[in-house]
Amino acid sequence: MGVDNQAIVMWDGIMTVTPTAGSNGNFDISWTGTVLVHEGVADPSAVGEPPRPGSALHASSDKSFTVTGTAVPCDGVADGNKFKKYLVEITGGEGFELGDGSKHQDKKHQIITSLQWRGAPDGSESLCYGQGEDEFGLFVSLGYMKPGNRITLARRTALDSADERTKWTVQDVEKKTLAAIYDEEEEDITCRPPWKSEILKIGA
């Protein structure tokens, strides 16, 4: 299955973290769940929450993903505080499915996220930002952590070479998102779910 820049590829699953052996404040992560592909959505405002019936562990989909990686604190302070932001580097795992019978792997995938959900009234505390490259091209992604350490991350991939987002780092995704949807006066985000914002629009 090919994916073009009109599609949103959504990962929804549970992230588990364990202290990295021999380190002080870094963590190993494992993230497992389901993949949903929304085609023909240049405007991501048409993409809602992934369907997850009742008490089901994962969203309804016949496609899955399992990835592993490492997490280091964004502020450089290795104090073991899981509520603050970490830079997660996806480095291994089985990869992800797109419904073509194959397992796909990202060439590069970085995420900024906390490692534990805290339920803060300020929605920006739960935001997750991603950037990387898969077989279809460079991508940026945006989502958030929910109770139970469930992360939903929506990806816009196969970005055109003229798209300014091909030059973004994951830190740029964070900066641009907060500039677009964070209201300092209200101390909260203005777009829920966050992937509906202009950050993932074609032509943004």
Q: Give 15-58 pLDDT, tens digit per residue.
A: 999 999 887 789 999 999 999 999 999 999 999 999 998 888 89
Q: Find all residues with CB under 8 Å of 102, minimum gap 6, and list them.
A: none
pLDDT of residue 1: 59
Nearest one of 197, 192, 152 to 50, comparing CA atoms: 152
Q: Give 143-169 pLDDT, tens digit per residue.
A: 999 999 999 999 999 999 999 999 999
Q: Give 79-124 pLDDT, tens digit per residue.
A: 999 999 999 999 999 999 999 999 999 999 999 999 999 888 899 9
CA angle 140, 26, 150 (to 5 degrees): 50
pLDDT of residue 137: 97
Give the single-character DSSP code of 155: E
Q: Give 168-201 pLDDT, tens digit per residue.
A: 999 999 999 999 999 999 999 999 999 999 999 9
Under 8 Å between Cβ of 96 and 65: yes
